Structure 1
Amino acid sequence: MEILVVSNVGKAYKRYARKWSRVREWLTDKPNHEKNWVLRDLNFSVNRGESVGILGVNGAGKSTLLKIITGTTQPTTGSVTIHGRVAALLELGMGFHPDFTGRQNIFIAGQLLGLRSDEIAANMNNIEAFAEIGDYIDRPVRTYSSGMQMRLAFSVATAVRPDVLIVDEALSVGDAYFQAKCFQRIAYFKEQGMTLLLVSHSPGDVVKHCERAILLKDGRIEQDGSSRSVTNVYLDELFGRKKDIGTQSSVVAEDSAQKLVSGGNLDVFHTRPGYHKQEHRWGHGGAVILDYIFSSNGEDYSSRLESNSVTDFYFKVRFESDFDSVVPGFLIKTLEGIFLYGTNSFVSTGEEESISVSAGEIKIFQFSLPLSLNEGHYMVSFGISSGLPLQELTPLDRRYDALMINIGRPQKFWGIVDLKASFHCHESKSEAFVA
């Protein structure tokens, strides 16, 4: 069942060329402005119980869209239909009066969210307990830190389960403990059928908490699909995408790392065992990742890698320009797109020594690590960037989700990563009771 329908929504703001243009428009009753469209032709629907992430670079129109959905801003064109009660965390402290106490603001903000006074009073103790701000509940909100405001705002917004919860980056100001607490409550409400709209600049958060994502670009919907695929496209928007690098003729797969080192300079990446043809490739150019090999227990391209076994990942790069410093990188994700582990040459070695390259040069990079993961399939990504490790890096060629590996494990555990816990049972030193 659809709980939210956005139909042909557009939003434009008036832009005046001169400071007196607005006055002239009032006096003459003739338009004297240009329209600056921040949203155009948005059409999508969200089903009850669905979790949808909203992504986009700054200025894409994310916050404007959420304000239209919540009714704090009216669309210039189109309409929004919502079936149910909406709770929103759009701006930190929105609905709070700085000179009123936290307790007074609970009633004000709660009523803005559509709650009755008796509902707010009945939930006051639960709101206080969840926010955990102590005596500050009876102090003016202007004395609160940003984290304390977020704690109180989230506690009020979720005091009674809403039909739709909208969160716009508000949780990013909270500490890790309270963020985890908030997402636990969100997960509980989702099980009860709550719909979630989450705006975040963290692709990992969107993948983890949302099954679906919508990418906005220049006020329009660029992509609407699974959160894993949409977050990959979002990374393009952040770093810029390179034109597709053409592959060359297929060659027979080589069997050893030594042959990889001594091989040619053709792009044979796509011919290797484990290659994932839905890889996401992007970068600014200047380098091409040509080939890879992974090896464990003396076997190359093994169809099953044993959990906790050390595996060597090699990838070959041909450089098309000179660079004073390049940084190779490595990343493992779940099939759902959750980032499990990422590193680069600097993080793995702790050495700031630059890797310089010349145009036409080919280098082989190797990352070796124990795959301490639960049984299942995982995605591996390779990347090469230019720049200094502790400064901004420029992606040259990145091949996201480029190969799929299968981890086997005789005894499963709960979760994804093996943290290698130990266990001991200690006997009591006290004397036995004698009747």
Structure 2
Amino acid sequence: MPVIIANNLGKAYKHFSRRIWRLLELISLGFVQRHTNHWILRGVSFQIQPGESVGLIGINGAGKSTLLKIIAGVTQPTEGKLQVSGRVSALLELGLGFNADFTGRQNVFMAGQLLGYTLRELQDLMPEIEEFAGLGHYIDQPVRVYSSGMQVRLAFSLATATRPDILIVDEALSVGDIAFQQKSFNRILQFKSLGTTLLVVSHDKEAIQALCSRAILLSKGVVALDGTPESVFDRYNALLADPEGTSVSTSVIQGNKVQTSSGNGMAILQSVLLTDPISAKELKVIKVGQPIAAIVTVLVQENIPTLVLGFGIKDRLGQMVFGANTFYTGQTVGPLNAGQVCTYTVQFKNILAPGHYSVHASLVRSDNHIDCNYHWLDGVCVFEVINENLPQFVGSVWNELTFNCEIQNSRDSNDQALPIN
């Protein structure tokens, strides 16, 4: 049975164009309505199974924080139903609510009771909370002398003092310094291995892919996509350049991969082929160390001032292994007129380890797709890398290593060993 069931959830806040209307509506006991509803969420439905790890993605203002607050019980939905089974621990706005005049220890006891712990439980947990936060003698100093990082470290330690059934993480993976980030990430991984259901909000693609096998994309308060982290982040990147989503589309290509396409269409990618530089034959299976020539054909459909080609290779999880664009290589072309065709040849040597990969290509005006996106295409083509005749190696890329070894006697046979003082 799912531990979280959201059925047509909606959340609206009242908007009064005049202050006096709020008072009039209050006096009338709601019989006279003077407000309009500003909807943050509308028609949100999904289910999360026990032990599942789900990422929640969306541009600012998409409704992510509001949805998390509803699930955590901080606020109630305006419409729809929500069913949550089990104890929920939410890492939302870490450190908010601490009393600046109380010591860190006193704040643990005060905030801990608000989280549902008894005084006895907090006394038993205090040594572990203190050790995990790593604040030293500052634990008995007023919170007003803490840095913001110290406050969130203490708040994270308290919120994760015991393993919850459901853990909600809102950008808490970036708390504190690098050492504490790794420490907190490992604790979340430990909870996950023990069966805790995770709901994670982060703009860190690697963190989401490390923790989650599924992601939900929110856009303008509705679920825009529910799928793999790779497909959701591809759609998210497209929405960064086109928040309205008018030019964003998805399709299924080889291997059931979801291909995301976006752009204003002023220039389009007509074809992208991986070929052998000598025979010009198209490659679907590529050897480690093999030279490659990617042939990219672009059709200009409207007059444009500049054209920049971006090209990259993604692994099976959608992480960019390597990539660059012609803006950074100083090879921007333009102006170009409608009807012109540009053919790029991108040459490189395949250093990828055996596995499955996909090609990313994009056409933009400058150094990024947010400024002006002509055409952005993830999963242009899919290919496989094999190792046919090179020595075995480990890792994600290959490099030709040369090992030289010289063997010398430590001393001649007639030499006497010297004592070590």
Aligned counterpart, 1:103: 105
Aligned counterpart, 1:162: 164
Q: Does the alignment pair 1:327 with 2:308?
A: yes
Aligned counterpart, 2:267: 287
Conserved? CA contact 2:57–2:215, under 8 Å: yes
| Cα separation, 2, equivalents of 1:132 and 1:373 | 41
TM-score, normalised via structure 1 length: 0.81
| Cα separation, 2, equivalents of 1:183 and 1:429 | 48
The DSSP-based 3-state class of the residue aligned with 1:48 is coil
Conserved? CA contact 1:204–1:339, under 8 Å: no
Conserved? CA contact 2:153–2:175, under 8 Å: no
The DSSP-based 3-state class of the residue aligned with 1:228 is helix
| Cα separation, 1, equivalents of 2:68 and 2:379 | 31
Rate the CA distance shift 1:298–1:135 in 2: closer, same or farther, 3 A: farther
| Cα separation, 2, equivalents of 1:419 and 1:358 | 40
| Cα separation, 1, equivalents of 2:144 and 2:112 | 19
2:217 to 215, 224, 237: 215
Identify which range, 175-184 or 417-426, moves more after superposition: 417-426
Q: Deviations over 1:380-400 (max 9, x none)?
A: 11111013x389531111110
Question: RMSD of aligned C-alpha atoms?
Answer: 3.3
Q: Does the alignment pair 1:306 with 2:308?
A: no
Conserved? CA contact 2:10–2:77, under 8 Å: yes
What is the aligned length? 403
Aligned counterpart, 1:257: none
Aligned counterpart, 2:240: 238
| Cα separation, 2, equivalents of 1:226 and 1:13 | 32
User: Percent identity among equivalent residues?
Assistant: 39
Matches within 5 A, 1:123-202: 123-172=125-174, 174-202=176-204
Aligned counterpart, 2:414: none
Identify which range, 86-95 or 283-292, moves more after superposition: 86-95
Rate the CA distance shift 1:118–1:412 in 2: closer, same or farther, 3 A: farther
2:354 to 375, 379, 400: 375
Conserved? CA contact 2:291–2:350, under 8 Å: yes
Q: Deviations over 1:36-90 (max 9, x none)?
A: 2222232222111101111222222111111011111112223322222111111
Conserved? CA contact 2:239–2:248, under 8 Å: no
Aligned counterpart, 1:356: 334
2:71 to 64, 69, 72: 69
| Cα separation, 1, equivalents of 2:289 and 2:144 | 52
Matched letter for residue 375 of structure 2: D
Matched letter for residue 33 of structure 2: P
The Cα of 1:356 is off from its aligned counterpart by 1.7
The DSSP-based 3-state class of the residue aligned with 1:305 is strand
Matched letter for residue 5 of structure 1: I
| Cα separation, 1, equivalents of 2:73 and 2:401 | 50
Conserved? CA contact 2:241–2:370, under 8 Å: no
Aligned counterpart, 1:404: 382
| Cα separation, 1, equivalents of 2:298 and 2:18 | 54
Unaligned ranges ≥5, structure 2 = 412-416
The DSSP-based 3-state class of the residue aligned with 1:292 is strand
Matched letter for residue 24 of structure 1: L
Q: Deviations over 1:108-144 (max 9, x none)?
A: 3333333333333333333333333333333333333
Q: Deviations over 1:239-298 (max 9, x none)?
A: 2256589xxxxxxxxxxxxxxxxxxxxxxxx9xxx8998422211121011122324574
Q: Deviations over 1:16-55 (max 9, x none)?
A: 1201111122223332222222222322221111011112
| Cα separation, 2, equivalents of 1:72 and 1:96 | 17
2:323 to 332, 342, 357: 342
Rate the CA distance shift 1:174–1:50 in 2: closer, same or farther, 3 A: same
Q: Does the alignment pair 1:8 with 2:5?
A: no
Rate the CA distance shift 1:179–1:366 in 2: closer, same or farther, 3 A: farther
1:82 to 81, 84, 109: 84
The DSSP-based 3-state class of the residue aligned with 2:307 is strand
Conserved? CA contact 1:56–1:216, under 8 Å: yes
The DSSP-based 3-state class of the residue aligned with 1:2 is coil
The DSSP-based 3-state class of the residue aligned with 1:91 is coil
TM-score, normalised via structure 2 length: 0.84
The Cα of 1:428 is off from its aligned counterpart by 12
Conserved? CA contact 1:95–1:112, under 8 Å: no
| Cα separation, 2, equivalents of 1:432 and 1:379 | 62
| Cα separation, 1, equivalents of 2:17 and 2:68 | 28
Aligned counterpart, 2:51: 49
Rate the CA distance shift 1:340–1:427 in 2: closer, same or farther, 3 A: farther
Rate the CA distance shift 1:277–1:105 in 2: closer, same or farther, 3 A: closer
The DSSP-based 3-state class of the residue aligned with 1:162 is coil
Aligned counterpart, 1:258: none
Rate the CA distance shift 1:277–1:319 in 2: closer, same or farther, 3 A: farther
| Cα separation, 1, equivalents of 2:386 and 2:77 | 53
Q: Does the alignment pair 1:365 with 2:367?
A: no
| Cα separation, 1, equivalents of 2:264 and 2:409 | 64
| Cα separation, 2, equivalents of 1:89 and 1:14 | 27
Matched letter for residue 404 of structure 1: V
Conserved? CA contact 2:22–2:34, under 8 Å: yes
| Cα separation, 1, equivalents of 2:409 and 2:106 | 53
| Cα separation, 1, equivalents of 2:255 and 2:300 | 22
Conserved? CA contact 1:279–1:403, under 8 Å: no
The Cα of 1:412 is off from its aligned counterpart by 5.5
Matched letter for residue 375 of structure 1: P
Matched letter for residue 124 of structure 2: A
The Cα of 1:166 is off from its aligned counterpart by 0.7
Conserved? CA contact 1:276–1:404, under 8 Å: no
Matched letter for residue 379 of structure 2: D
| Cα separation, 2, equivalents of 1:372 and 1:346 | 24
